[in-house]
Amino acid sequence: MTTATDTKLLDQVYTVAQSYGKLVTFSVPGTKVYDPATGKTTEGSVVSHAVKVTPPAGYNHGLVDGDTIQARDLVVILPKKLTTFTPALAMQVTVDAEVFDIVTIRPLYSGADICAWDIQLRQ
């Protein structure tokens, strides 16, 4: 059940990203399609979503272990409010013409509802 506090938090996370965030593009790779008539496999169309996230930030040096978190990894927060897709590991994120892979996605909850996703990016 969503409470008034949950709705307020959802609005605040969204407002912060819209006010101070950065426009990035989440891209879903097209699925491969096999055509039995030609015997060829072709790539489907890439679907892109342009959204604002919190400004990409590096991790605290004390958290960098060289494996789970690497020195050049970035973290962004994607608000759920008005987001028309759910982030997935297969997606890539373009930030200032640089393409990153999604390494981890952690849902951030307010009560029982997701209000945002904490997303780790790596080149």
What's the rounded Cα separation, in Å, for the pair 10 and 4?
A: 10
pLDDT, residue 2, reads 61
What's the rounded Cα separation, in Å, for the pair 45 and 111?
A: 37
Counting every residue written for the chain, the total comes to 123
Domain coverage including residue 18: 4-33+41-122
Pairing of strands 92-95, 40-43: unpaired
Count structural domains, the chain.
1
Percentage of the chain modeled with pLDDT above 70? 95
pTM of the predicted model as reported, rounded to 2 decimal places: 0.81
pLDDT tens column, 11-61: 888 888 888 899 999 998 877 888 888 888 888 788 899 999 999 999 888
Of the pLDDT bands very low, low, confident and very high (cuts 50, 70, 90), residue 10 is confident
How does the average pLDDT of the chain come out, rounded?
A: 89
Q: List for the chain the helix, strand, coil content (%; round to 5).
A: 15, 45, 35
- CATH number of the domain residue 79 falls in: 2.40.10
